[in-house]
Amino acid sequence: MASSDAGTSWGSEYQVFLSFRGPDTRSGFTDFLYHSLTDAGIRVFRNDEELRVGETIDGLLMQAINNCRIYIPIFSPNYASSLWCLRELSQIVTNTLKSEGNKEILPVFYDVERDDVILNTPLYRGALLNLECKKKLRNEQVDAWRQALMDVRAIKGWEVKKYKSEGEVIKLLVERVIQKLKTKQKSVIERLVGIDDRISEISNLLDINSSGVRFIKIYGMGGIGKTTLANAVFKQFFPHFGNSCFVKDVRAKSSRTNGLVELEKELLEKIGHPTGTRNIDEMNYGVKRTREALCNEKVLIVLDDVDNREQVEKLIGNSTLCSGSRILITTRDEGVLPTNTSNYPVLNYEMEAMSTNHAIELFSWHAFNKDSPSPGYNDLSREIVSTTGRLPLTLEVIGSFLYRKVRGLWIETLHELKKSLPKDVFTRLKISYNALDFEQQEIFLDIACFLIGEDKTNAVYMWRDLELSPDYGVDVLIRMSLVKIVENNKFWMHDQLRDLGQEIVHLENPIDLRARSRIWTCREVLDAIRAKEMDWNVQGLSLDSYAQRDWLVR
């Protein structure tokens, strides 16, 4: 019987396959690597050839090899003396060559040289000859093994003896595996389930081939998928316009000092009319530049997460827009842009919850890494999906939280979800926050209050100085869909999760700012600093200004 030690409740759904010679590395390097990978949430098949019987790879082992995304053969002095290691390697190489880049081998050279493995020295050559003579094997079988070993020459691997310690090699390997699996996971999990019909409906409202100007307002509760839909529409249609831009997080950005001015600059820069160093407030310079830019060419502009009319007026104003232009707005408030307050038609699109079938599919991608529940979990999954209100964000967060968890925790989570009110999204999201340990909660709150849009590297240095564990902590948050790393290594968090984090801090003491752990708005920072008493619990401050946004930790 094969020994997997992990993920057995999900059948053969493994991500990493370890091939190793038991007597050489079983109780040392391989065991350390295995536990480091599983601690990182990776499903590992660890096969010990000493437990194998028979002459061929059986169905379970073949299924594990075929389904894995990454293979880690640990080449050790006696690896080539094992029929099972050679059989596994041959199948691994065959799978990799056929995968068109979908699968990858990460070889480890443990107490051997690369030349030993690719048969440039007597070590593995002699082992093959010895097997061939003793076992009276067919020439074509041994030749296939020789070729599999030779194929390793083109693959960069890890030669353990060249590093300071085995621990350093394992750390690098785990980081590489996480990086590789994230690429695949992103392409699978972030698939836009059930969005095609919605895009078609927005396309009819846009009617990009018609003349005139249109405003399209997508409205609905937070976490229902408005931004995701707007982003998908933008990516599909922007090539049909002379210029385009997507202005994210209007609500949050406009609340900062000079926030609307900064948004105006962002809009101008994205449509190719940067303001340079000139003061954008001077003689309404920004408004004039915006009007000039928007009246001369057909544009597609998305204003994401608008929460009041002033934001639209400041960014678009009473500009005479070029015929054919389209302005797409997402908002939680249906009344932000009534149809009678614009010079142009305003078409409304209400976002509704996903259909049950689409909600089950989205939840399953996060909870099971496939498009439907695993056997025995169908009814439980449907109950959980029903209690989430079929909101995409909640499905993603709760599904990610339950991924690879025991059935008992699923049942407990369902009971917690049932306690929440129908529209109480925060209570549902807080289930995942409560499951974090103290350090991970601290990192989550820092990101929610200070670090959205900030570079991850600087934050990691800060957290290390505070003796937290940032690499592992951030990875946990990513795996639980509580935070994402986007372009340029910056933090991104859904606005509902950001609001959750900031509300948790607010509730530390709703009255006394200085009794909270974090203060992130300029006005509140100044109020706290001006207070005479200096008995603070504050750990972090955000100083918001026109030129920059600095954050400090004390």
Task: Kindly report, residue by residue over 237-257, the tens digit of the pLDDT.
Answer: 888 888 888 998 898 888 777
Once rounded to an integer, what is the mean pLDDT over residues 57-62?
64
Query: Residue 389 has what pLDDT?
Result: 87
Query: Residue 541 has what pLDDT?
Result: 63
Asked if residue 183 has pLDDT above 60, the reply is no
Query: Residue 189 has what pLDDT?
Result: 44
Out of 88, 264, 361, 396, the active site residue is 88
Query: Residue 424 has what pLDDT?
Result: 79
Tokens of 108: 């480890």
Q: Where would I find the H helices in 279-355?
A: 285-295, 309-315
Query: Residue 318 has what pLDDT?
Result: 63
Instruction: For the full predicted model, state whether its pTM sits above 0.75.
Output: no
Query: Residue 99 has what pLDDT?
Result: 62
Q: Is 88 a catalytic residue?
A: yes
Query: Residue 184 has what pLDDT?
Result: 46
Query: Residue 339 has what pLDDT?
Result: 61
The CB-side HSE value for 307 (13 A sphere, CA atoms) comes to 14
Asked if residue 42 has pLDDT above 60, the reply is yes
Q: Name the packing angle between helices 470-479 and 438-446 (round to 10°).
A: 80
Q: pLDDT class for 485, splitting at 50, 70, 90?
A: confident
Average pLDDT over the chain, rounded to an integer: 81
User: Of the ranges 7-11, 126-130, 195-199, which one carries the lowest mean pLDDT score?
Assistant: 7-11
Distance in angstroms (rounded) separating the CA atoms of residues 370 and 185:
10
Asked if residue 113 has pLDDT above 80, the reply is yes
Residue 46 · residue 8 · CB < 8 Å: no
DSSP 8-class letter at 535: -
Residue 552, phi-psi category: left (phi > 0), alpha (psi -120 to 50), beta (remainder): beta
Query: Residue 287 has what pLDDT?
Result: 57
Query: Residue 3 has what pLDDT?
Result: 36
What lies within 8 Å, CB to CB, of 165 at 6+ separation is none
> Does an H or E element contain 64, and which?
helix 59-67
Query: Residue 546 has what pLDDT?
Result: 31
Q: What is the pLDDT of residues 425-473, one digit of tens each?
A: 888 999 999 999 999 999 999 999 999 888 888 899 899 888 888 888 8
Asked if residue 190 has pLDDT above 70, the reply is no
Q: pLDDT class for 304, splitting at 50, 70, 90?
A: very high
Q: Pick the more confident residue, 294 or 479.
A: 479
Query: Residue 495 has what pLDDT?
Result: 86
Query: Residue 28 has what pLDDT?
Result: 86
Distance in angstroms (rounded) separating the CA atoms of residues 195 and 184:
21
Give the dihedral of Cα atoms 378, 381, 387, 391; nearest 10 deg.
-120
What lies within 8 Å, CB to CB, of 98 at 6+ separation is none
Q: pLDDT class for 13, splitting at 50, 70, 90?
A: low
Query: Residue 60 has what pLDDT?
Result: 65
Once rounded to an integer, what is the mean pLDDT over residues 48-53?
48
The pLDDT > 70 percentage for the chain reads 81
Greatest Cα-to-Cα distance within the chain, rounded to the nearest angstrom:
92
Distance in angstroms (rounded) separating the CA atoms of residues 244 and 274:
14
Tokens of 304: 């994401």
